[in-house]
Structure 1
């Protein structure tokens, strides 16, 4: 006997043997059991999902002659043993007319077919017309079919099948009961293939079945055909290596190896994996596509672990990899991968494009942010409203001995002094850096003479009083409110209280101020002397406060001493969004606004701790992200509020000025409030 391929040998004979189309099976079984049969059925779906098989099973249900099926003989469980069932399975049933519409598209063929509709069935109970690929019929054929399709004789059933229902006229669709068959997921295909191969007595590897399931692309018939080919290729066995060579597809394990190298931030390993891939001559564009798909699955695993697609049979591996990335890194890598895929057309060669894309992922990864040891999954609890877990860089503090090994100054700052006194080794050069001059990842700040123009320099507390003040292109800095040591706590001539709090002049936190009030008017403006704004500002000066080294730091003192910390760049921005949560004399905990959690890196925590030690607050510092208490301002919020109040006062002062009113009355000028810049209080000579 000749060999019968698996796709035909294992074709379902009943509804209960059908795989993966439960929604269609349920509707047809219920209709058969209740006797509610339609005269025309339309089965749609991609190739190899069971359209023709369903039609043949339905034909057997309508014509089964076994006893015990009720009065009309129609059943949802055909016996498969009667003459009608065997004839349908063997393709020789007279009253099952199968028509290939792709080869009989002419209207004459359709008319010839319909001429025999009026005659009663010869052998069975119903005459069943199975028209496959019905969308290939011509327009004239459809028109000829419409009347019979709408009102066929009671002994006729039409079963139509198509892979492209969009090409069917709406008049045909409206006359049929339509069922859309689903694509087979890889999990369902692998399960069915394992059952078939076990029944056939063929040894197989599960990983090889996953390759076949993915290559089938939703078609069970394609999966069966590929399995036949794999059995022949592997000499009676289905092995992963043989199937990979047969399909010519990329081994998914190589893609996972690339992602693991990204998780370890290991550039040499990345290039080594690409070199190993190059020996197999793969499609590097497909490699990048597969990497982007894996990154998408990692993002899903971090947010909703139970929703991870198991199309490759590597769900546990994906969950383990997802915990080794931060959510920000996954999104960044995915975006770079998608952009790199579009740039491949302009690269010298595809391998170069892949390597540059992978290296770009590591190059643009935020520097100074350590990779997490373990990211808890999921990142956000369902419906809990909790914020994501903070990165490992801010979750725990390094041991004291580890800190002292890498930074002696930081180690000494962990020990509270026995009595108030100045620090042993002040570092004025480190803390006098202008905000903005510090960049993330720089081990040391630049020297003072390289500071950007237009920004003020906070004078060092150890600088002699006779030293000339640094040149300033902007407003003069206000006096620090937190003094670093006792030598500054002795009585001295207090400067005139400035009407503008010091926080309003911090970099990036208030508009740049001029030496006088300025406003842009749309009409020509003569020289006008505008009275100083500071005389009308109602904001009271901030009192100077000194935090003793043994005193606990509360939030009011934190606001007072923030400007004297000398922080800059990203470190200043991080600290400006913090409030004091707790201070027990040895450990200081700052609560960070959750919107700024991405900046919470170890390097910034260390710089803030060193700056606090420089003003006599020696603590072990912890910065944790979390919801901020209500009615409590961060330094940034306070500075923004004060800047807004000063701007409103300046606008009001200009609007009261008689000269400005004269310009408005004479020339119809209009004051553009957004251009008003409050003046700084001039220091007393």
Structure 2
């Protein structure tokens, strides 16, 4: 007896043997059991998913002659033993007319077929017309079929099958019940192949079946054919190495090894893995496609672990690997991979293009830290429950500064929380040229008492005040009204002294002039001086002058390199430009305010919109810059909401630039020449084009 291929030997004989098409099986079984039979069925789907098999099973259900099926004889469970069932299985049933529409496309063939429709069945209960690849019929053939397809004789059933239903006329589609068969997922294919091979007593490796299931591309028939080929290739056994060699596809384990090298930020290992791949002569473009495919699956694993497919049998491995990446890294790597795929056509060779794309992923990591962060799965956007311990924490729910971890131990920015900004990478230019970034307002209910700067400011003052030393002290209980009155009197007494002391410090801005030279009266000498509020601990000390504290610290402390002096936010603002920071580090520091300084540890509070850029390399650069001006501290930069009354260096620079611009515009508007141009020619001043210049830039 000749050998019968697995695809034919294991073809389902009943609905219950069908694999992977439960939605179609349920509809047809219910229709058969209830006697609600349509006269035309259309089965669509890719090759090898069971269209013809379904049609033949349905033909057996309609013509089974086994006893016990009732008066009609129609059943959803054909016996497979009667003459009709055996004849249909063997392809010799007279009343099952199978037509290959691809070879009989002419209208004459269709008319000849329809001439026999009116005659009663010879052997069975129904005459079944199975037209395969029906989309290949010509327009004339469809038109000839329409009338019979709509109102056939009661003993005729039409079963149509096609892989391209879009080519069918709407008039044909409207006359049929359409069932779309799904592609087989690799998990279902591997499960079915394992059962078949166990029944056939063929040894196999499960990893080899995953290769076959992936190569089948959703077709069970293709999977069975490839299994036949693999058995012959492996001399009766199915091994992973043999299947990989037979298919000529890239071993998925090499792709995962490449992604693991990216997770370790190990450029040497990346190049080594590519070198090992080159020995197999792969398609490097396909390698990059596989890498981006794994990155996509890692992103899914981070967001919705339950939705991660197991197409390669590596679901658990990818779930563990996803925790080694930050979400920002995966998104950037994927974008670079897609871009690099398009650039391969212009590269000297494909291997070079692959290596450069992988190295570009490591070179442009957004964190800029030597070790990637650990990402807990799944990612959640909802805030956690508020606990009593968290309620007493800082304004952002973070632990008090004395319990904050050291910045040197930070491993990346971690997960983006709900307060994180929506902007991308900030500009690397000078902070005075950057667009203003609004800071989120501080929720008042996050404080147990109003901040001291709100109590200490005079009511008539409208200019934004500077922050006092120790933002942490604002979380303590506010002084009573009587104490506030005493403090106001003390501040008035020391106001003049404070102004003189602050004036002694280097002013950030000396003049502001327009492009058209304005008089000296239009220049800005310095920002308005507002008494600096004292901390709670300083309220009982008459000698503690808030306004004179920054200058005194500059003279007595930091000017001489004495680390015992407290580093306040006012000093931070005045010494910021002298730090010599640049690029992303300067932009990060420009969004910080001094929260506390105990002489050994300096805590900076960072605006939440910039938390994504908070990395160890920037913390180290700021710490080294502070050490250059005599401030040697353990530096900690934490993200959290900023008080409304506190200016960051960025906001201060934006305010000064806005004041200078306003003065320049005012000077131009008062200029007689500009007024003459406006009156004579109807000209108007475009204020956005006005750029104030310093006195040093005057021609």
Q: Under a length normalisation based on structure 1, what TM-score does the superposition of the two structures give?
A: 0.76
* Secondary structure in 1 matching 2:321: helix
Q: Distance in 1 between matches of 2:506 and 2:39?
A: 87
8 Å contact kept, 2:31–2:37: yes
Q: Deviations over 1:233-253 (max 9, x none)?
A: 111111100101111111111
| 1:628 positional shift | 4.4
| 1:655 positional shift | 2.8
| 1:340 positional shift | 2.6
- Once structures 1 and 2 are overlaid, which stretch shifts more, 311-320 or 532-541? 532-541
Relative to 1, partners in 2 of residues 1:498 and 1:218: Cα closer, same or farther, differing over 3 Å? farther
| 1:574 positional shift | 0.9
The equivalences for 1:83-482 within 5 A come to: 83-365=83-365, 368-372=368-372, 374-378=374-378, 380-384=379-383, 396-398=406-408
Q: Distance in 2 between matches of 1:515 and 1:31?
A: 86
| 1:597 positional shift | 3.0
* Secondary structure in 1 matching 2:271: helix
| 1:183 positional shift | 0.9
| 1:556 positional shift | 5.6
8 Å contact kept, 2:326–2:374: no
Relative to 1, partners in 2 of residues 1:179 and 1:626: Cα closer, same or farther, differing over 3 Å? farther
Q: Deviations over 1:399-428 (max 9, x none)?
A: 89xxxxxxxxxxxxxxxxxxxxxxxxxxxx
Alignment root-mean-square deviation, CA: 3.7
* Secondary structure in 2 matching 1:105: coil
The equivalences for 1:486-525 within 5 A come to: 497=503, 502=508, 516-518=513-515
The equivalences for 1:558-637 within 5 A come to: 558-559=572-573, 561-583=575-597, 585-613=599-627, 617-628=631-642, 632-637=646-651
- Once structures 1 and 2 are overlaid, which stretch shifts more, 31-40 or 642-651? 642-651
Aligned counterpart, 1:17: 17
Q: Distance in 1 between matches of 2:284 and 2:499?
A: 73
| 1:612 positional shift | 3.8
8 Å contact kept, 2:467–2:570: no
8 Å contact kept, 1:499–1:534: no
Relative to 1, partners in 2 of residues 1:30 and 1:581: Cα closer, same or farther, differing over 3 Å? farther
8 Å contact kept, 1:110–1:141: yes
8 Å contact kept, 2:52–2:132: yes
Q: Distance in 2 between matches of 1:17 and 1:141?
A: 35
Relative to 1, partners in 2 of residues 1:396 and 1:134: Cα closer, same or farther, differing over 3 Å? farther
Relative to 1, partners in 2 of residues 1:627 and 1:27: Cα closer, same or farther, differing over 3 Å? farther
Relative to 1, partners in 2 of residues 1:559 and 1:324: Cα closer, same or farther, differing over 3 Å? same
Q: Deviations over 1:56-113 (max 9, x none)?
A: 1111222222333344232222222332222222222222111111111121211111
Relative to 1, partners in 2 of residues 1:627 and 1:61: Cα closer, same or farther, differing over 3 Å? farther
* Secondary structure in 2 matching 1:518: coil
| 1:293 positional shift | 1.4
Q: Deviations over 1:623-656 (max 9, x none)?
A: 2334545565432133323433442344344334
The equivalences for 1:41-52 within 5 A come to: 41-52=41-52
Relative to 1, partners in 2 of residues 1:681 and 1:295: Cα closer, same or farther, differing over 3 Å? same
Relative to 1, partners in 2 of residues 1:680 and 1:227: Cα closer, same or farther, differing over 3 Å? same
Q: Deviations over 1:453-483 (max 9, x none)?
A: xxxxxxxxxxxxxxxxxxxxxxxxxxx9999
Relative to 1, partners in 2 of residues 1:258 and 1:174: Cα closer, same or farther, differing over 3 Å? same
Relative to 1, partners in 2 of residues 1:494 and 1:589: Cα closer, same or farther, differing over 3 Å? closer
Q: 2:677 matched to 1:660? A: no
Q: Distance in 1 between matches of 2:230 and 2:218?
A: 18
In structure 2, stretches of 5+ residues that fail to align are 386-395, 399-403, 411-426, 431-465, 470-496, 532-546, 558-562
Relative to 1, partners in 2 of residues 1:370 and 1:4: Cα closer, same or farther, differing over 3 Å? same
* Secondary structure in 2 matching 1:75: coil
- Once structures 1 and 2 are overlaid, which stretch shifts more, 244-253 or 315-324? 315-324
Q: Distance in 1 between matches of 2:166 and 2:51?
A: 16
Relative to 1, partners in 2 of residues 1:348 and 1:125: Cα closer, same or farther, differing over 3 Å? same
8 Å contact kept, 2:204–2:238: yes
8 Å contact kept, 2:41–2:160: yes
Aligned counterpart, 2:523: 534
| 1:613 positional shift | 4.6
Aligned counterpart, 1:639: 653
| 1:529 positional shift | 4.8
8 Å contact kept, 1:40–1:177: yes
Relative to 1, partners in 2 of residues 1:226 and 1:514: Cα closer, same or farther, differing over 3 Å? farther
8 Å contact kept, 1:551–1:585: yes
Relative to 1, partners in 2 of residues 1:642 and 1:106: Cα closer, same or farther, differing over 3 Å? same
8 Å contact kept, 1:80–1:86: yes
